[in-house]
């Protein structure tokens, strides 16, 4: 279903507002992303409250540390009931392997379904010049594809990438690989890029091969978030 492919970024100022949005969006967009700001403010209890409401929570904390530390963090994340968890692919294969194993082990120990484990490739706020500033001489697209291949080899389920890299990742990693796409703008999702450099419209991104779309401001800042989400779902449904 098109609605299942929409993940709403709860980039808001409080847990109360996040729960209010979850209730308003229920049945239209039950995939919700909790990022660093909201998690730092409210912690695991908010994730558990969203899960209790029936939401599929993408816990977007982008773990990036030594393998043992990341494994422990993933174990804790699984215990919140998160449906999807991410790490940075640039943390390396050993770190990603540790994350994948921790997710499986924690799910088995707690009787949960293992979460989708995905890796950040290159942040959508970056371009080739910004990537070079970090010491990476390879151009952005081949760097994204190399990190996606490494994530797949490490046993992760997919990656986060800009919509502009979807086709190349699909070619490299296959149809079953999960691709989560932020930076969705234009048409029903709203026109402003904000801090995203590599953007695309919702229907265009799905046609390109995205598994899930992350949309934040165009929904949560709308006068009626439910209506805004419905418009995006309708665009996805009619564009297939």
Q: Can you list the pairs that 37-42 forms with residues at least 24 positions away whose Cβ atoms lie under 8 Å?
A: 37/11, 38/10, 38/11, 38/12, 41/13, 41/14, 41/15, 42/14, 42/15, 42/18
Indicate the pairing of strand 56-63 with strand 178-181.
Answer: unpaired
What is the token pair recorded at 117?
Answer: 């484990």
Cβ atoms of residues 81 and 112 within 8 Å? yes
| CA–CA distances in Å: residue 58 to residues 2, 31, 84, 96, 143 | 17, 7, 4, 17, 24
CA distance 154 to 33: 24
CA 181 to chain centre: 7
Q: What angle do CA 38, 194, 39 make, to 5 degrees?
A: 10
CA distance 223 to 66: 43
Q: Is 62 a catalytic residue?
A: yes
CA distance 123 to 137: 16
From 26, 33, 62, 101, active-site residue:
62
Q: Which residues are catalytic?
A: 62
């Amino acid at each position: 279903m098109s609605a299942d492919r929409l993940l709403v970024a709860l980039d808001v100022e409080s847990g109360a507002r996040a729960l209010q949005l979850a209730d308003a969006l229920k049945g239209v967009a039950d995939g919700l992303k909790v990022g660093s700001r909201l998690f730092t403010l409210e912690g695991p209890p908010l994730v558990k409250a969203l899960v209790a409401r029936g939401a599929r929570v993408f816990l977007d904390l982008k773990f990036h540390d030594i393998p043992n530390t990341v494994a422990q963090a993933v174990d804790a994340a699984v215990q919140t009931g998160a449906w999807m968890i991410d790490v940075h692919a640039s943390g390396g294969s050993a770190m990603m392997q540790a994350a994948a194993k921790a997710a499986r082990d924690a799910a088995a120990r707690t009787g949960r379904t293992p979460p989708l484990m995905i890796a950040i490739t290159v942040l959508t706020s970056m371009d080739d010049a910004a990537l070079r500033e970090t010491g990476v001489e390879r151009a952005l697209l081949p760097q994204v594809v190399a990190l996606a291949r490494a994530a797949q080899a490490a046993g992760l389920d997919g990656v986060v990438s800009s919509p502009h890299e979807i086709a190349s990742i699909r070619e490299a990693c296959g149809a079953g690989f999960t691709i989560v796409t932020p930076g969705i703008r234009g048409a029903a999702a709203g026109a402003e890029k904000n801090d995203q450099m590599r953007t695309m419209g919702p229907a265009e991104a799905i046609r390109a091969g995205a598994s899930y779309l992350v949309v934040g401001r165009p929904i949560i800042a709308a006068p009626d978030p439910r209506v805004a989400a419905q418009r995006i779902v309708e665009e996805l449904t009619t564009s297939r």
